[in-house]
Amino acid sequence: MGKNQHVVPNHKGGWDVKGEHNSKATVHTHTKAEAKDIARRISSNQDSELFIHGKDGKIQSRDSHGHDPFPPKG
């Protein structure tokens, strides 16, 4: 499983895609939609989680691209 990906606002404007615990952005985009598309492809390729943050920095949604068991345990 690869690094979880985060779509986060950039303090200078636009949106960043960052791997978890990375200090630098993997990609900087002008729109959140662009960042989400890129981050979704990366997390899908890496079988990792995607966290989408709002302008306030709080997580708004998440997608799992790992190998989740189906049906889920429990």
Confidence check: pLDDT of 61 > 60: yes
Q: Is residue 41 part of a domain?
A: yes
Q: Is residue 66 part of a domain?
A: no
Q: What is the largest CA-CA distance in the chain?
A: 44
pTM across the whole model: 0.84
Q: Is residue 40 part of a domain?
A: yes
Q: Is residue 72 part of a domain?
A: no
Q: Which of 16, 20, 22 is nearest to 36 (CA)?
A: 16
CB 38 within 8 Å of CB 31: no
Q: Is residue 62 part of a domain?
A: no
The per-residue pLDDT for 45 is 94
